[in-house]
């Protein structure tokens, strides 16, 4: 693969990288590139970063640009829309199950003005995005902390930290959760069991290959059954064809699970 240059390269199973995508370091080979299973890197994507990792079932759509001096880590089940910019000059960490809508820009630095002439605006700061965060689209994000389950509506300009499970909108973005409510409602474990059983039936699988559980102790690692634990949102990754097909059926909006660490 001439379009990928890395000293350490790990690519998971069933991962598709379009031939005109470019993955490399800032000055030649990257030090480390890790792409999980069942990922997709779209046309004309540029990942120019010395240390980059992407979790399982994540998708980076066409003409997206990821760049920076410091490591950029993106978790499982990410959806990154076309023409997005992710800057990691100050270091960027994006958790599991995050959505970044098309034409969004995520920044970890501000740098241009002549400091000799007295420009005061020069900084590099980590951008930290938690789990289940959603930037709906056309969002511009400063180096902030976006806590788990926070959400920014389309066109938001985010300059301050986003609180847990709050919804933001505007320029500069402010919380509107008092008007529209949170991104996520509480769902009981029992209700999650019922919903997942319904999904399993809808998909047409019985429990010979996939089982829905709510107890870690029920997740037997010795057999070839994939266990989906609704209490922990994890699954016992076996890479069976049934597991992969069911995961793709669940994504992006029915349910998101990440591998269980035994």
In this structure, are 173 and 199 located in the same domain? no
Q: Which two tokens stand for residue 177?
A: 């959760």
| Same domain, residue pair 143 and 89 | yes
Burial of 182 (0-12, 13-18, 19+ CB in 10 A): middle
Query: Which residues are paired to 66 by β-bridges?
Result: 47, 86
Asked whether residue 56 falls in the same domain as residue 81, the answer is yes
CA atoms within 13 A on the CB side of 226: 22
Are residues 213 and 157 located together in one domain of the fold?
no
87 plus 203 within the same structural domain: no
240 Cβ contact partners less than 8 Å away, ≥ 6 residues apart: 209, 224, 226
Q: Is 79 domain-assigned?
A: yes
| Number of domains composing the chain | 2
Residue with token string 């559980």: 213
**Can you give the pLDDT of all 262 residues of the chain as single tens digits?**
679 999 999 999 999 999 999 999 999 999 999 999 999 999 999 999 999 999 999 999 999 999 999 999 999 999 999 999 999 999 999 999 999 999 999 999 999 999 999 999 999 999 999 999 999 999 999 999 999 999 999 999 999 999 999 999 999 999 999 999 999 999 999 999 999 999 999 998 777 899 999 987 777 777 889 999 999 999 999 999 999 999 999 999 999 999 998 6
Q: Is 240 left (phi over 0), alpha (psi -120 to 50) or beta?
A: beta
CB atoms within 10 A of CB 29: 16
* Closest to 82 in 3D by CA, of 103, 57, 58: 103
Contacts of 178 by beta carbon, 8 Å cutoff, 6+ apart: none
Q: What is the C-alpha separation between 229 and 220, in angstroms, rounded?
A: 12
d(CA 106, CA 26): 19
**Structural domain includes residue 1:** no
* Same domain assignment for residues 157 and 49: yes
128 occurs within a structural domain: yes
Q: What range does the domain containing 199 cover?
A: 189-259
């Amino acid at each position: 693969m001439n379009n990928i240059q890395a000293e350490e390269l790990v690519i998971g199973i069933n991962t598709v990288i379009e031939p005109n995508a470019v993955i490399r370091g800032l000055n030649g080979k990257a030090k480390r590139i890790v792409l999980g299973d069942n990922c997709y890197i779209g046309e004309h994507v540029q990942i120019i970063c010395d240390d980059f990792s992407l979790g399982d079932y994540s998708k980076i759509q066409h003409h997206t640009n990821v760049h920076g001096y410091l490591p950029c880590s993106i978790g499982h089940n990410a959806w990154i829309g076309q023409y997005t910019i992710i800057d990691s000059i100050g270091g960027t960490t994006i958790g599991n199950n995050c959505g970044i809508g098309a034409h969004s820009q995520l920044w970890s630095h501000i740098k241009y003005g002549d400091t000799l002439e007295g420009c005061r605006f020069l900084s590099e700061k980590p951008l930290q995005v938690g789990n289940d965060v959603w930037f709906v689209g056309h969002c511009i994000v400063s180096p902030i902390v976006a806590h788990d389950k926070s959400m920014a509506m389309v066109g938001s300009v985010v300059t301050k930290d986003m609180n847990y499970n709050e919804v933001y909108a505007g320029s500069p973005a402010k919380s509107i959760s008092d008007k529209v409510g949170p991104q996520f409602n509480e769902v009981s474990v029992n209700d999650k069991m019922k919903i997942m059983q319904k999904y399993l039936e809808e998909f047409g699988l019985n429990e010979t290959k996939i089982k829905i559980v709510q107890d870690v102790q029920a997740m037997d690692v010795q057999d070839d059954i994939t266990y989906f634990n609704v209490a922990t949102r994890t699954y016992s990754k076996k890479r069976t064809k049934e597991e992969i097909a069911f995961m793709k059926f669940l994504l992006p909006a029915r349910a998101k699970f990440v591998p269980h660490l035994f």
